[in-house]
Amino acid sequence: MALQHPAGRDGPVGDDRHESRDERMDRNFVELLQELRVLQTGTQILAGFLMTLPFQARFPDLTGEQRAVFLVAIVLAFLTTVLLVGPVSLHRALFRQHRKDDLVQVSHRMARAGLVTLGLTMTAVLVLIFGVVLGRTAGYAAGVAALLVFGSLWWGLPAWMRRRPARSGTGSPGEPTRA
C-alpha cells in the first residue's frame, strides 16, 4: 500500500524518501548498476583467466574429469558474464521507451541469476584448482565448502534477515540502533 505524499509523490508505508514512482525506479536502477559494476569486473577477469587455461603447458595433463570441471566452469563464467552485463544491454534496447519498471524487474532477476552462476563458477574453479593441486577428494571437499559458504552468505543470511524485524533507531551515526 502506498502512502500519499505532497506533490504527487508516493512510497511504501514507512518510507520517508518522498519520491515519485519514476524517481524510485531511477534510484533502484542506479543502485543495481552500481552493484553490477563491482561484479562485472571480477567476473570478466575470472572468465578471461579461464579462457587462457587451455593454452597453458600443463593443460594436456588434466584428467578427463578435470577437463569436464573446467568446461563447466567456463560455461558458467560465460553465463555469469551474460547475466551481469545483460541489464546494460537491456537498458540500451529499452532506452526512452518508458519501461523503467520492466527494466528494473528484469535486471534484478538477471543480477540474482548472475550471482547464482557466479557462485557456481567459483565453486567449479575451486574444485578444479584443489583437484589439480591436492587431488580429487580435496577438490570436491573444496567445492562443497564453497557451496556452503555461498549458500549461507548469499542466500541464508539475507533470508534470515528478511524474517527479522528491521532495526530502527534515532541515534547519531555510529551509535547502535535499538529494536
DSSP secondary structure string for all residues of 74-118:
HHHHHHHHHHHHHHHHHHHHHTTSS-HHHHHHHHHHHHHHHHHHH
- 145 Ramachandran zone, left/alpha/beta (phi>0; psi -120 to 50): alpha
Q: Which long-range contacts (CB under 8 A, 24 or more apart) does 19-28 make?
A: 21/101, 22/100, 25/100, 25/101, 25/103, 25/104, 26/100, 28/104
User: What are 178's strand-pairing partners?
Assistant: 168
pTM above 0.85, yes or no: no
Residues 35, 55: Cα–Cα separation, whole Å: 32
Residues 4, 17: Cα–Cα separation, whole Å: 12
Residues 83, 75: Cα–Cα separation, whole Å: 12
179 residues of the chain, pLDDT tens digit each? 444 444 444 545 455 678 888 788 888 888 888 888 878 888 888 888 899 999 999 999 999 999 999 999 999 999 999 999 988 888 888 888 878 888 889 999 999 999 999 999 999 999 999 999 999 999 999 999 999 999 999 999 999 999 998 886 554 454 444 44
Residues 123, 46: Cα–Cα separation, whole Å: 12
